[in-house]
Each structure stands twice: as C-alpha cells, then as structure tokens.
Structure 1
C-alpha cells in the first residue's frame, strides 16, 4: 500500500489521509510529490488520476480522494476503530466529517494551512467568523458528549478531517473558546501529528498561493490597480 501526498507544510488533504494511516498503524509506503517547482502539475497528473492529492494505491486500487481513502481503510481494517464502533456515534462522526469536507470555504480561502508559519492578525476575523462559530458548535457538542480529548473520546477519522482546522487556528491565532483551544492542543499532542509536523517544518519549499503574505500583497496590488 502506498500514499501519494504533497508538501507536508501546506497540503491539508494529504495530512488527513496520512494521519489515519499512521495513527492506526497501517503499513504503507510514502510518495511525496511537490506542489511547486517547474512542471509540478504535469508531474502530479502522472501519478494522480484527478491531478490532486492524496492518492492511495493498494494493488490495483487507486483512490484519489480523501474521504474515499478513509472509507476504504475502514472497510479493509474494521477492527482498527477508524470510525466509532457505536452506530449512532459513527453516524455523527461521518456527518461532521462530511460537513468539513464540503464546507468552511471562507476559512480555507482566508487562512491556508501553513504549519511552519506564525501569522497572528493577518486573517480578517469577520470573513471567517461564521465558519469558526459553526466549527466551535460541532466541536463543543461532540466534546461535551465524549468528554474528550478528541471528538469521540479516542482519535478517529472525524478528528483527522478537522486536524487542518486546528493548525489554522494556531498559525493565525484565531480567537476561539478555551474548549476549542484545548482540542487544538490535543491534535498537536497526537504522536502521528507530531511526526508529520516535525517533517513539515523542515521542508524548504515555498508554495506561493498558500503563503498569506503573498496572497495579501497580490490582493493589495489588485485593489490599487
């Protein structure tokens, strides 16, 4: 089994799939492709049917979509606990993960994942306030039921889906409740996340369209043109 993924510092979808594989001790090989440099798009398309990452390759199976990867791994390793064993909790976990997958575009656009950076005050809170409010509601409801430290007690796929949100809150020092901040700290304390993070901060590559200073400079230049 092999996971094709992109720059650890920036690729939020790669992080999600990788965390599930690593946390649940599923053996796999790594194939890192870059989201920058000459010809990077052509190189990615050679390895990914969709031209996007991550991609899971397991024999003849080639899956280029994070949620499909997670479901495939859950079906192949049902005893791992990738989703909660309780049917109701599993439904809630999948619901939260699906909402993360399909929403929160304002937060994604305004605050791209950048693990090695610290950019307090560079995200307009008014732009992301509604997304943060909904995220806090999801986290608060689930954590109050489970008692934490993760959304359903033990780490599962729903937490993997929200892990990049936790990084955005830290990178941009977004204002959240104490409960949400505790959850962010729990994500950062996860050994699998720490492993990814340690490699991410060592990466030398810069992906300009995910660097907030470059994004803001281009926005300012367009506004004054």
Structure 2
C-alpha cells in the first residue's frame, strides 16, 4: 500500500477531500498525501499535474489515477478493506449507497450557503427556505439510517456513509444547527473520532483563506 497517494485540497474548506481522507485514515490505510491549496496562482498548474479532471480528491495507485470521492471510497473498499467499508447486510449496504448517492448529487443550497469551514463557528446563522429544506431532509435521512441498527454510527459500525456525511456533521456543528437527538448524538461521535480530530487540527494550522467560503456571523 506504500504506492498510494491521495491528492487533496485545503483541509479547512474541502469537504470532498475529507471524505476520502477520513475513510482511509479511519481504516488505517497507509498513504502519502499531496495538498493543493485552492485559489492560488499555482493551483491550475498543480491540478494539471495531479488530477485528470483538474479537481480533487484524486487517489493515485501506482500509475492509476482514481478521481471523484465516491469512486475513491469504493475503490479503497474493494482493494484495501476487503469490503469492510460497507456493512455485511445487503439491505444496509443499499441504504448506505443510496445515502451517499444523495449526498453526492443533492443539497445544493446547503453547500452554497453553509460551506465547510473547520476553523470557526458561525454565530446566529439563519438558513433560508431552501437551506432549511436541505437541513430537514438530512435530519430525516440520517435519523432513518441510525434507526436501522444500534449504532454507534449511521449503519452500525463506521462505514463509507459516515465518511460521506462527515462534512455535514461539521456543518451542523459549525453553524450551530439544532438537530434531533439521534443525529445530534451521531455528530458528537463523529467529532470525537481521532482521525477527524487530526483533520481538524491540521485544518486550523493552515494559513490560506478563501474569502467566498467565510460566512459572516449573523448574530
């Protein structure tokens, strides 16, 4: 596994990078890391060098490049986790894959109005109607997942689904969104993960700032 390299962006802002990084770190997959800061003069050239579609994350397995966080997570699960990234129960796997696909393709208002920012808490945030609809749907979806098992994670033990919704946990916490108890407890569990704590600390240590991702306090 020493020939694995994960190319990511700023840890403070890049939710898609977090998903692949967290899965691999939580399952103790050994990999090297290349970080490409976004919105700098060097960014385009670095993307051209490391990413087939000029986006991150990208997983390099020897000469093979795998891009898109969902493809990376499925590839890691297949090649390096012996399938442990998903539950053994096929119904739970189907539920998890549906949840990840929805995360991958939906929640545009939440993405736009609640960008991930690991360094700060946004005070007094008031979601508009579209963002609130996304929050409500996420609460329902996560609650439904948590009801299927005794936990402590979305599908029982930690899975690709938790990695995919980790940025949501950070958003719910960082924008002080009140969540129903099953979801609030899951957010707390996620924040306690040593792997996620490592990501958060390294995000806080970054020096880059992207102005468009800095939502002002509204209190």
CA deviations on 1:71-121 (whole Å, 9 max, x unpaired) are 111110243511111211111111111111111111010000001111022
Residue of 19, 26, 31 corresponding to 1:28: 31
Whether the aligned pair in 2 keeps the contact of 1:36 and 1:206 (CA below 8 Å) is no
State yes or no: 1:119 paired with 2:122: yes
Counterpart in 1 of 2:214? 211
RMSD of aligned residue pairs (Cα, Å) = 1.6
The residue that corresponds to 1:68 in the other structure is 71
User: CA offsets per residue over residues 174-201 of structure 1, 9 Å max, x none?
Assistant: 2221222111111111111111111111
3-state secondary structure, aligned to 2:216: helix
Q: Distance in 2 between matches of 1:39 and 1:79?
A: 38
How far apart, CA to CA, are the structure 2 residues paired with 1:182 and 1:78? Answer: 27
| Structure 1 unaligned spans of 5+ | 217-225
Matched residue, 1:19? 22
In the alignment, the residues of structure 1 paired with residue 208 and residue 30 of structure 2 have an alpha-carbon distance, to the nearest angstrom, of 27
Distance of aligned partners of 1:213 and 1:45 in 2 relative to their CA distance in 1, 3 Å threshold: farther
Contact 1:111 1:123 survives alignment (8 Å): no
Number of residue equivalences: 215
Q: List per-residue Cα deviations over 1:115-172 (Å, max 9, x = no partner).
A: 1111022342433111111111111111122122210111100000000011111111
- Within 2, Cα distance between the matches of 1:6 and 1:15? 9
2:133 equivalent to 1:130: yes
Deviates more, 1:104-113 or 1:42-51: 42-51
Is structure 2 residue 161 aligned with structure 1 residue 158?
A: yes
- Corresponding position: 1:178 with 2:178: no
More off after superposition, 152-161 vs 167-176: 167-176
1:190 matched residue in structure 2: 193
> Could you say which structure has the higher helix fraction?
1
**Unpaired segments ≥5 residues, structure 2:** none
State the TM-score, normalized to the length of structure 1: 0.90
TM-score (norm 2): 0.93
For the 8 Å contact 1:45–1:52, the answer to whether it is kept is: no
